[in-house]
Structure 1
């Protein structure tokens, strides 16, 4: 290992408590990084008023900037008048004030003398020139200055663009990339210092192209959104709804940056602010934050702007079936049919794609080092499943290039700029695209360049991959030990040859009897020849939309035949098998570590609870949600709640067992789901000793290392508790008394009351005296009985059928 200087970040200062600055501060605190948040001194009242109000309003924002609201206390408030001396203790300073060059320069003059000699200074600008921002710095500070562009909302958007100037020291960029990737969980793309960098330059252009072509082909906004959202593998909010969410003023500002700085650009006419956008902004209709933009909510009804009439009309017009059928075809055929169809919606879609292909072909050399950076920037910054170069390559590089050229020559494109020669001749034409196993195309080198070799990327066993790279597919990589239709049991030599990985193959990784068999089999194998087991799901990592589901719970559909044959009692063997499987996980002679991201609900949550340790991605949504289908948790989840309550009571020297089980009862009875892994820890689904990982691409390697560490430390399974003290019948009646009030006040239905009562009976240990000692088998039997009894009720059956048919809970 070469000596690489680590960037130790003891504390970060964020300058500017506006929307972005405050949310960046919140995400730093999510990642356990202490933050000082600065703004102007308030004119009246306490001097830090601007910042304290900003922190308060973060708690109300949705989606929530904090992974755990209580962490707001860790942001320290400061102002530029009294607190500049505190910058000296910060290793990283991020400026995030309004996008005005003159304001930023004024602030830099104030703060520069106070920065620590080693501190990295970065501007979170969405498009201003980093070199111009650095003007006036001494050489020493210039070397430590760069752009770091977070996307909104910073907690959830994977992309961060890192922008050096000619003077930026390469080492600080490497250090910052490591910090952003592991500590904050981001996907970092290095951008050149050109207006709006990569993601906004291409992303906003693609939106402007949609404006232009929608107008040309006369397609209403709601139809455009139906065509350009998930049906194209893009963000659900598509085009105009996204603009409303981002804010039309923000959008207009980013467009204006292009107008001001790209005057000699052959696409310059396209950067004109669309008149409809201009009109909305000038009358203060800025989208979601003002209640109206392209869309407007009137009561429950969502209306859409009709630009011809200048008023809002009923929305909900959909794309034409014919066009949707074309979109389902393979890429080469899809583009051919869109281009040849006379349907205006098909012509519109071809035009939009052509415009983007044209644009990235013309500008790749100017805006990015290589094509990989463009595709990741758009995927991570704008939520596309595939990047524009990937789409072009998948549809047949040469054919698309010829069609784009034909349209440009015929004057149909948004500009008459010719595609550069590398598109038609040389390495890209020979390889049939810009992404190859050797790397992605870099115009300046006229060659394919490999991925970054920074040490931080060794932690990613399966980094986000691009079509054409032929990267290892996590569903088949490594060495398969055994595989069935339900699970794959495998080892990845790249991480550890002595840890067995189990991956489920069911839809949403639901757990049926065959998955329990596969999991048990993996534990048998590991006890014989390996040192540990890790349960990890590769679902959507290869799409680069990080963090698929860990498990949506027990597979209800798999249990249906048994139910049809033998009624509610017919399900008992299924439940018993599930419980036995969980107990096998808990008492395995090797550690079983669960690596969770995304949803871990019901049975998925129970699998976490029975594991030796949990490693969870920050964005993990954990909960026992069986109430939604009219059932109680039946896989040992409530039993584990009783055990934890008994431990907590013993630690507190208390015999009030009800007090310690109430929280678990409420979580299950209300089907509460954690809003993050930190929240899951607060709720008790993760333990303080469990590991939380911020970059989902690092989840597997961290989990495997944690599993080995347990094995190295001489892991032994827990001893079976002989006597677990429970709250008993007095606990049950206390809980039921409050449930009666909720039922009689119409807060819950009679059926909700029945289910909650059954949960209360299990978590209080059944009809026994308070303080009685029971064992795990007793509690599991209570769970099974409650589950089967509820399954026999018509109302629960209604809930299950509703969920299987519509995927939504039925209220009855």
Structure 2
């Protein structure tokens, strides 16, 4: 039976870049966390840690889900704070990558570690068994490696590396904690240098560097070839190296050279001269203002090895090569790369060939299955497909034959033979039954650990598919489906899950069906975002056709749908992930409950396109302000922070921040693993149903801030216009937002109902939509994806 890891308190040893950010993410997850480092040489003994905690608020992307969480991290030092370790259930060591330093620290802390506590080293490649030698016998079963990728809040991958003596129950308990509490994708790695992610990922970078030089290509051209065109991040190869830091890159390469002397590719584990030159000059990449790339004014420049100087970055992909890369069939794409004589195509084939060769050769000694390799690279490096998936999609047998031919011809980076299993008649390593394990010589299914039963739709590998449930109802905008239980699930079918007439009509039908045939309804999308808001293009069409009446009817239907969600006789729970903007935000505001993934970016952003929220969002904020203020309370004080957020079209940087800003409610849940979102939303919906759910009573007595509130907001806006923080038109839009939030030009303290506020929303929305400046803003947003400030 899996040992449940109960973590009331955790400690992180080492307040450097990784340690501080791991502590931040534990705090994000509500784990009481102590952060340790050496005592400061002067001043407060905890000064080193206090400085690291203060720095968390300055880092981008933000390690903390809310800046206020910094205060939750407890500072400590190794001289006076080790007694606190006895209260910790999980201890993560994250000091510098030095075996002797880590072992010395283990010897120092061992007497203070509780008998039940788990100790894990966040090392990116040092030997876990070697580290364990410094521990007393009784602690070794509770020791392992856990490698978070940087930045730990955002990178999905966590590699779990057992030592020989690690207890299986401890591993499974830690895996469940990493998965649900911290939201990680866990991959088991063998105790080999650099584990899986960096072993394969860094080799891929080394192969790219090798072939860049071999085919005489520029760094900018290679980045143009190895980014989104291959299903990889925009930062591609060399920009990624700049972001990571060229000194870090050189260190990792040196680590491979030092720790893998018998690797058949060892001759290539060395930094090229140009990389050494940049590091020696202190041009380390983004952190020093330049590396392989640099900015000169507004111009992006790239290092040109021929000129031994920087030039303007051009990044030109040959049209013929682009045509090959745009082929939909991967088999045809790889055949095209293999056959082409163009240096760019030959470069790509060679790069893939050597990556496939290396991954297959080292599969047995780095991982249990090909699944672990592909998921590690996808989650750790942001690739859409891992190396084995890419090979399988390209035609396993043919590609294997081409690799073998190149090895014999001396074209490959190593003459090591491909493993025999590559040629055993297989068509790939992934299938419905599982993924190939060289050790077991069989395809192994996914883990049966209980935590994975919470994932209805895990990240699918090539060859895997997960049944999409039974359709209950469907139109062009929405699909309502069920797994045969008492919960119906509504998923939008539109691009970016925008809300159009079909979604509105579908949503109302879904609620009617749920009330009749189910106990609850969940709004959930199979992929991000939750919803980018109203369909602006469709709305613009009505206005351009002069159909103001039709436009107003659409707005009224939007409001009616939001109200239908709010007053449904079954609980409607929104499962939010990614963007929930405008109308998408308003839908979740009206549900009985929202379950939001940590990385949910929520906002009422209509001001950015010259409009105001009109799907009931402003009405709902006015209702909440009245309820929060209570009888005789200050409604205006409750409105002030939400007004600023809506008027400035702010988007939360996390679900925690959305809760602080009032767009999520205190009772709304934050989930850390995106693939558990649907499970949690369903459970919440059923729990509400079980408790005898009834919708709220109609809000008929909403106390508003009235004319005094509007006047106070206007004064604030005058100052902002005079300070040139906003334009005159921004101020007009913001005044209309204030007018609705405050209930219109009526006496302060007046009592109104929801319909009054909804009518105000509609009136100001329709009037703004007919303004030339608003239409210019909408057109600009549709064309460029960016707001226009006119």
- By the TM > 0.5 criterion, same fold? yes
Matches for 1:382-421 after TM superposition, within 5 Å? 382-421=381-420
**In the TM superposition, what is the alpha-carbon distance from 1:290 to its structure 2 partner?**
1.1
Match of 2:29?
31
Secondary structure of residue in 1 paired with 2:69: helix
Q: Which residue of 1 aligns with 2:369?
A: 370
Q: How much is the aligned-residue C-alpha RMSD, in angstroms?
A: 1.1
Shift, 1:301, TM fit = 2.4
SS for the counterpart of 2:491 is strand
The Cα shift of 1:298 comes to 2.4
Is the 1:655–1:771 Cα contact (8 Å) retained in structure 2? Answer: no
Residue 646 of structure 1: aligned partner: 626
Give runs of aligned pairs for residues 144-543 of structure 1, distance below 5 A.
144-329=142-327, 330-425=329-424, 429-430=425-426, 432-469=427-464, 471-472=465-466, 477-493=468-484, 497-539=485-527
Match of 2:650 in 1: 672
> Does structure 2 conserve the Cα–Cα contact (< 8 Å) formed by 1:568 and 1:789?
no
Query: C-alpha separation between the residues in 2 aligned to 1:145 and 1:656?
Result: 55
CA offset at residue 558 of structure 1? 2.0
Distance 1:608 1:133 in 2: 48
Give 3-state SS (helix, strand or coil) of 1:621's partner: strand
The C-alpha deviation readout for 1:690-740, integer Å capped at 9, x for no partner, is: 111000000001101100110100000110122211111111111111111
Q: How does 1:704-723 map to 2 (within 5 A)?
A: 704-723=682-701
- Deviation by residue 1:775-812 (Cα, 9 ceiling, x = unmatched): 11111111111111111111101001111111111121
Shift of 1:300: 2.6
Retained in 1: the 8 A contact 2:575–2:595? yes
Q: Note if 1:634 corresponds to 2:614.
A: yes
Query: Which residue number in structure 2 is paired with residue 619 of structure 1?
Result: 599
Whether contact under 8 Å (1:569, 1:788) holds in the other structure is no
Q: Is 1:785 the counterpart of 2:763 in the alignment?
A: yes
SS of corresponding position for 1:566: coil
Alignment TM-score, normalising by the size of structure 2: 0.99
Q: Partners of 1:322 and 1:98 in 2: how far apart?
A: 47
* 1:164 positional shift: 0.7
What residue number does 1:544 align with? Answer: none
2:20–2:56 CA contact under 8 A, matched in 1: yes
CA distance in 1, matches of 2:2, 2:428: 35
| Partner residue in 1 for 2:134 | 136
Runs of 4+ in 1 over 6 A off after TM superposition: none
8 Å contact from structure 2 (residues 227, 233) kept in 1: yes
The 8 Å contact of residues 593 and 703 in structure 1, kept in 2 or not, is answered as: yes
Q: Once the 2 structures are TM-superposed, how far is the Cα of residue 569 of structure 1 from its aligned partner?
A: 4.3
1:64 maps to which of 58, 62, 65: 62
- CA distance in 2: counterparts of 1:136 and 1:644, whole angstroms: 57
Within a 5 Å distance, the mapping from 1:44-59 to structure 2 comes to 44-59=42-57
Cα pair 2:504 2:558 within 8 Å, conserved: yes
Equivalent residue of 1:276, what SS?
Answer: helix
Deviates more, 1:501-510 or 1:725-734: 725-734
User: What is the CA–CA distance in structure 1 between the aligned matches of 2:357 and 2:267, rounded to whole Å?
Assistant: 15
Residue pair 2:608, 2:788 contacting (<8 A) in 1 also = yes
1:99 is matched with which residue?
A: 97
Q: How far is 1:574 from its partner?
A: 0.6
Tell which deviates more after alignment, 182-191 or 733-742. 733-742
The CA deviation string for residues 460-514 of structure 1, in whole angstroms up to 9 with x for no partner, is 0111110113x215xxx11111112211100023xxx111100000000000011
- Matched with 2:543 is 563
Counterpart Cα distance in 1 of 2:779 and 2:549: 18
Name whichever of 188-197 and 140-149 sits farther off.
Answer: 140-149
Tell me the distance in 2 between the aligned counterparts of 1:769 and 1:21. 55
Aligned to 1:116: 114
What displacement does 1:563 show?
Answer: 1.6
In 2: Cα distance, 1:270 partner to 1:514 partner: 57
Q: SS of 1:60's equivalent?
A: coil
Contact 2:223 2:315 (C-alpha < 8 Å) held by counterparts: no
Q: 2:2, 2:169 within 8 Å by CA — same for their partners in 1? A: no
Greater shift in the superposed pair: 7-16 or 484-493: 484-493
Gaps of 5+ in 1: 540-547
Post-superposition Cα deviations, 1:646-697, rounded to whole Å, max 9, x if no partner, equal 01110xx544321111111111100011100000000001111111100000
| CA distance in structure 2 between the aligned counterparts of 1:789 and 1:285, rounded to whole angstroms | 55
Query: Is 2:549 the counterpart of 1:554?
Result: no
Residue 543 of structure 1 is matched in structure 2 by none
Cα distance in 2 between the residues matched to 1:655 and 1:683: 19
Note if 1:753 corresponds to 2:731.
Answer: yes
Contact 1:244 1:288 in 2 (8 A): yes
CA contact (8 A) 2:15 2:48 kept: yes
- Aligned position for 1:82: 80
Match of 1:542 in 2: none
The answer to whether residue 571 in structure 2 is matched with residue 591 in structure 1 is yes
Q: Distance in 2 between matches of 1:314 and 1:183?
A: 46
- Determine the structure 2 residue equivalent to 1:767: 745
Alpha-carbon distance between aligned partners in 2 of 1:512 and 1:244, rounded to the nearest angstrom: 42
Structure 2 runs not aligned, ≥5 long: none
Contact 2:599–2:654 (CA under 8 A) maintained in structure 1:
yes
